[in-house]
Amino acid sequence: MNPQIRRLFFFFSALFVALISMTSYWLWRAPELEARRGNPNLIVRQLTIERGLIYSSNGKTLLARNIEKEQPELGSTWYLRRYPRHQLTAHAVGYSTVERSRSGLEQSLNDYLTGSNLELDTIVESTLDRLQGITQRGNNVVTTLNLLGQRAAVRGLQGSCGGVVALEPATGKVLVMASSPAYDPNLVEGRFGQIIRQTGPCRPASPLLNRTTQGRFIPGSTFKIVTAAAALDSGRFTPSSRFDDPGYCIEYGKRVFNYSDQSGPSVFGNVDFGDAVENSINSVFCEIGKRLGPQLVIEYMKRFGFYDEPPIELPSDEITPSGLYRRGKLYDPSDPNAVDPGRLAFGQERLQVTPLQMALVAAAVANDGIVMEPTLVERIVSPDGKVISRSRSSEWKTAMRPETAADLTAMMTRVVESGTGTSAQIPGISVAGKTGTAETGREGQNHTWFIAFAPAEAPRVAIAVGLSNQAGTGGSTAAPIAQAVIAALLGRNA
Amino acid sequence: MSLSYAAFFVALFVAAHMILRVALPHADPYLLPIGGLLTAVGLTMIYRIDPDLAFRQGLWVVVGLSAFAGLLLLVRDHRELDSVKYILGLTAIGLLILPAVPGLGETINGATLWVDLGPITFQPGEFAKVLLVVFLAGYLRDNRELLAMGTGRYGVPSPKHFGPLLVIWGAAMLVLFQTRDLGSALLYFAIFLAMLYVAIGRWPYVAIGLGLFALGAWGLYQVTPHVAARVSIWLDPWSEPFGDGYQLVQSIYAIAGGGIFGSGLGRGVLLTPEGNPYIPDLQTDFIYSAIAQELGLAGAAAVVLLYLIFVYRGFKIAMQAADGFSKLLAAGLTATIAIQTFVIVGGVSALIPLTGLTLPFVSYGGSSIVANFLLLGLLLMVSNHVNRENAP
């Protein structure tokens, strides 16, 4: 039996060698495994780094800071995150926790905030620090968020589900990013259940969802700005083009009526392009859409950034592109006949858009047709005060010619002066805007909108307000919120 | 506090060593120290995870060493066991059936392998494995010539001689289907095959045995979703990193994060800030992952090498033994330790599909500690006998 025993010993020896080899294999793969979500090794190692602070646009007000927690057993100090402004900037700043990983800027700027960004001088510095046993310190981030505007937006959104995005049209800086309902990021660690169980004002409440970049709303009449841009920019129509409005438009042999109140659908008769925008006349846009064809409208959508993820500094799983959707997926039709041109033109069809995208539409009109890359980061500063990176305003898309933008500005100014958006007026400031009301067929479930920019002659703010659970119109629900935020940002009393 | 633990522990093993030297003066001098070292590594890791558990494990070590001493003093010669092998074999089957008895069995992690005796629960399978090895050693010694002769057409023996083995296989299989304990199934079959190979030395037997095992495993795979899930997670641990794959993925993170020399005891990432282990069952099945995290590849490899030395000494005893029963018993007991180590360490490092077993001497668990010290006692008895015979 001895030969068998000897062979058995060699067999088991080989198996044991395989065990050690397998253990070594995982060591070899460690660098790649460390980057995976849910690896506590990485999370805990990063807890020993003094994470960079996050500030509002004034560079002074803290949005995220650290508290120190001694770990006598580990012989180290852990830095745990606290958010002194609670819900105010929850979705843009996000959270960084031990148990639930990270979100928002805390996730996308993690390398900067932990000082592990791949820039040579910081790598050398942090390696030296580690060798000397000095606590590694991350870089501080100054955001573009303006807390006056942010507060006005959060106040305005109370009781609604929706989002507000305000941009600086010339630079793409995000001045306001507010999503409702919000959550307190301090509760994510430890009291996550409280966030999950949150209810209302709509179902599901999904407080963690950033509705400004991930919420998909029906754009309704705000989309007419895109259609109008296509119509005017392509030279197929001019501001003086005239239309006859019978109160409806015929599509596929059936009548599609104008927005109707108690007295029935409104009829405007003979109007020009500006009248159609001012009064948001569906039948006119329906005709324009039929004449332009869906291909041209979709081409212009893409020029505004639809069908792309806006290049903002948020984790890509928190950004949703806007466009036509079919069966829950983004839909870029190859067959023009597959799309209803009339309903597309006035913002129905299967359009789903984010407030960020609609803010980019308003900003494009405000910025002579140029869409700037939206950005949340003003600058990143190393612990010793050196500026590591500063936001450069870069052009993202060219949506239309400056002349078209000027024509649209004039029309949108009339909307606020005397059209559907009068509730957004601010004394002493000319506001250009467009309302939107998309009926979903269920009572109190309208998606309502207001997109705007101000001052119309030299725009400093472009804004989109999108709400999902409304009984009223864009003019009565969303426009007042936009008005309050613009006033706050421009330092006026509304 | 922890120092008095250590002093107590050393005193305990010194006492065990004295008893061993008196009762079995010729026994192998390496095996008990290796067992003691592994137990110490285990206690240290368990203390680091949860001091209360370490205290209870300490009590079990006392019980285990007492059982070890009792065995040495009561059973002077392991060959006495040869005469009661059928009783032991039946006892083993009885122990395996126990958890399936309604009212006694307790299901933990999808497998019913615990018996609830009021204040304590115990895992009869741990004891059954030792008894089965004794039975198989006796049975195979008696029948090895007949089995090896190959009276059948393809060099396979007649059912008359093979029958009892098939009966054992069938009984064990039935019990395993009942208890859903794939880890033990793998262990018993591998022990059985290893001993069969040592006794007969012919590959067809091993091949047939493997075929039968594959059949059983396939059957389990078909009827048990819990087994099918284990296999698919082994193939791709990251298919569900926060679902079914969580335990294995966390185990891999712990192993990978340890590096070459580990984080140092108490400095690894094993517990959440609330003090719960990231890896469920850390102190039992996944103790190897904890060792790899805090003592690194060096520490983990050292533990595996300790088992290798243990296995080397065990097989050496088997090779030097003069009679068949001693040879088979020593080889079987040694193979048990080797296989159990491979199955659980391979499982937690994703070398093979994960099946729950304890790491001998190291994992937390009373039944496991006591059974493995009894196994060690038997092995030392064989060794004492062998060395006395061969002494000049």
Asked if B312 is an interface residue toward chain A (Cβ–Cβ < 8 A), one would say yes
Give contacts of B269 with chain A, Cβ < 8 Å: 40-41, 44-45
Task: Tell me whether B273 touches chain A (CB under 8 Å).
Answer: yes
CA-based nearest residue to A148, from A53, A57, A54, A55: A57
Contact B346 A98 (CB under 8 A): no
Q: What was the pLDDT predicted at B149?
A: 67
Which helix (H) or strand (E) segment holds residue A434: the answer is strand A432-438
Express each pLDDT in B8-19 by its tens digit. 889 999 999 999
Tens digits of per-residue pLDDT, A341-351?
Answer: 899 999 988 99
Question: What residues of A are in contact with residue B341 (Cβ under 8 Å)?
Answer: 16, 19
Contact A12 B328 (CB under 8 A): no
Contact list in A for residue B328 (CB cut-off 8 A) is 1
Do the Cβ atoms of B349 and A19 come within 8 Å?
yes
Q: Determine contact: B272 vs chain A, CB below 8 A.
A: yes
Determine the pLDDT at residue A8: 93
Contacts B252 to A, Cβ<8 Å: 26, 33
**Which residue among B257, B292, B335 places its CB closest to the CB of A23?**
B292
Residue of chain B whose alpha carbon sits nearest to that of A25 = B256
Q: CB–CB of B338 and A40 under 8 A?
A: no
Least CB-CB distance to A33: which of B199, B256, B312? Answer: B256
Selecting from A8, A22, A38 the residue whose C-beta is nearest the C-beta of B241 gives A38
Cα angle at A24 between A20 and A28, to 5 degrees? 170
What integer pLDDT is reported at residue B68 of this predicted model? 94
Cβ <8 Å between B242 and A38: yes
CB contact under 8 A, A98 and B273: yes
* Contacts A37 to B, Cβ<8 Å: 241
Chain B from 120 to 139: CB within 8 A of any A CB: none
More confident residue, B177 or B1: B177
Q: What is residue A79's DSSP assignment?
A: E
Chain A residue closest in CA terms to B344 = A19
Q: How far is A5 from chain B (nearest CA, A)?
A: 6
- What are the chain B neighbours of A26 within 8 Å (beta carbons)? 252, 255-256, 349
Closest CA to B248 of A418, A26, A373, A78: A26
For strand A446-454 and strand A461-470, is the pairing parallel, antiparallel, or unpaired? antiparallel
Q: Are A320 and A274 in contact (CB under 8 A)?
A: no
Q: Which of A5, A23, A34 shows the shortest C-beta gap to B331?
A: A5
Q: Which residue of B has its CA nearest to A27?
A: B256
DSSP-assigned beta bridge partners for residue A244 = A270
Task: Give A5's contacts in chain B (Cβ within 8 Å).
Answer: 198, 315, 318-319, 327, 331
Touching check for B267 and chain A: CB below 8 Å? yes
B194 touches A: beta carbon within 8 Å: yes
Reported as a single tens digit per residue, the pLDDT across B203-226 is: 777 787 778 777 877 877 777 777
Chain B residues lying within 8 Å of A41, measured CB to CB: 253-254, 256-257, 269
- Is B349 an 8 Å CB contact of chain A? yes
Does residue B296 register a pLDDT over 60?
yes
Distance from CA of B322 to the nearest CA of A (A): 11
Name the closest residue on chain B to residue A45, using Cα atoms.
Answer: B269
DSSP label of A330: E
Q: Which two tokens stand for residue B246?
A: 């969580």
Helix (H/G/I), strand (E/B), else coil: A242 = strand
Of the pLDDT bands very low, low, confident and very high (cuts 50, 70, 90), residue B168 is low
Asked if A39 lies within 8 A of B257 by C-beta distance, the reply is yes
Residue of chain B with shortest Cα separation from A39: B253
Residue of B nearest to A26 (CA): B256
User: How much is the pLDDT for B263?
Assistant: 80
Cα(A227)–Cα(A250) distance, integer angstroms: 18
Which residue from B255, B273, B318 is facing A23, i.e. has the nearest CB?
B255
- Is B386 within 8 Å of A59 (Cβ atoms)? no
**Inter-chain contact B255–A36, Cβ cutoff 8 Å?**
no
Count A/B contacts: CB-CB distance under 8 Å. 122
- Nearest C-alpha in B relative to A10: B312
Does position B108 have pLDDT exceeding 70, yes or no?
A: no
- Is the pTM higher than 0.95? The answer reads no
d(CA A164, CA A227): 22
Those residues whose C-beta lies under 8 Å from the C-beta of residue B206, and which sit 6 or more positions away, are B193, B196, B197
**Looking up tokens 């294995």, which residue turns up?**
B248
Q: B300 touching A, CB under 8 A?
A: yes
Per-residue confidence of chain A (494 residues) as pLDDT tens digits? 889 999 999 999 999 999 999 999 999 998 888 777 778 877 777 778 889 999 999 999 999 999 988 876 666 788 889 999 999 999 999 999 877 778 999 999 988 998 876 555 555 655 555 555 566 788 999 999 999 999 999 999 999 999 999 999 999 999 999 999 999 999 998 888 888 888 878 888 899 999 999 999 999 999 999 999 999 999 999 999 999 988 888 888 788 888 766 666 788 889 999 999 999 999 999 999 999 999 999 999 999 999 999 999 999 999 999 999 998 899 998 888 889 989 999 998 899 999 999 999 999 999 999 999 999 999 999 988 889 888 888 999 999 999 999 999 999 999 999 999 999 999 999 999 999 999 887 878 899 999 999 999 999 999 999 999 899 899 999 999 999 999 999 987 65
**How distant, in Å, are the alpha carbons of A4, B80, B370, B381 from that of B71?**
29, 12, 11, 10
- Distance from the Cα of B328 to chain A's closest Cα (Å) equals 9
Res B278: pLDDT: 86
The answer to whether A30 contacts B351, with C-beta atoms less than 8 Å apart, is: no
d(CA B54, CA B378): 26
Query: What pLDDT is recorded for position B116?
Result: 61
B249 chain-A contacts, CB cut-off 8 A: 38
Instruction: Report which of A125, A112, A44, A109 is spatially closest to residue A79, judged by C-alpha positions.
Output: A44
CA–CA separation, B238 and B245 (whole Å): 7
Looking at residue B165, what is its pLDDT? 67
Closest by Cα among A49, A39, A52, A50 to A379: A52
Q: What is the pLDDT of residues B64-86, one digit of tens each?
A: 999 999 999 888 788 888 888 88
| Sequence-ordered list of residues with C-beta below 8 angstroms from that of B230, at least 6 positions apart, any chain | B182, B353, B354, B355
Higher pLDDT: B102 or B204? It is B204
Q: Which of A9, A19, A45 sits opposite B345 (nearest CB)?
A: A19
* Residue of chain A with shortest Cα separation from B350: A22
User: Which pLDDT tens digit goes with each residue over B236-279?
Assistant: 888 877 778 888 999 999 999 888 888 888 878 888 766 788 88
Q: Compare all CA atoms of chain A with the CA of B263 and give the residue at the minimum distance.
A: A74
Closest chain A residue to B249, measured at CA: A39
Helices H, strands E: what count in chain A?
Answer: 17, 22
Pairing relationship of beta strands A254-257 and A248-251 according to DSSP bridges = antiparallel
| Both structure tokens of A123 | 């790598």
**Among chain A residues, CA nearest to B267:** A74
Among residues A278, A299, A303, A277, which one has the least CA distance to residue A288? A277
In this prediction, residue A241 carries a pLDDT of 93
In the Cβ-directed half-sphere of A407, how many Cα atoms lie within 13 Å?
24
> Does B327 sit within 8 Å of A5, measured CB to CB?
yes
Check CB contact under 8 Å for B319 and A4: no
Retrieve residue A94's tokens.
């996000």
Contact in structure between B22 and B75 (CB atoms under 8 Å): no
Shortest Cα distance from B48 to chain A (angstroms)? 10
Closest by alpha carbon to B27, among B381, B391, B392?
A: B381
* Residue in chain B nearest A24 by alpha carbon: B297
Find which of A7, A19, A192 to mutate to test the B interface (most B CBs within 10 Å of its CB).
Answer: A19
Instruction: Retrieve residue B20's tokens.
Output: 């061993």
Which of A8, A19, A33 is closest, CB to CB, to B346?
Answer: A19
Tell whether the model's pLDDT for residue B161 goes beyond 80: no
Dist CA A238 CA A203 (whole Å): 44
CA–CA min distance A195, chain B (Å): 20
* Whole-complex ipTM: 0.92
Spatial contact of B377 and B71, defined as CB atoms under 8 Å apart: yes
Strand A76-82, strand A140-143: pairing:
unpaired
State which residue of chain A sits closest to B276, comparing Cα positions.
A99
B311 CB within 8 Å of a chain A CB? yes
Query: Rounded CA gap, B136 and B173, in Å?
Result: 16
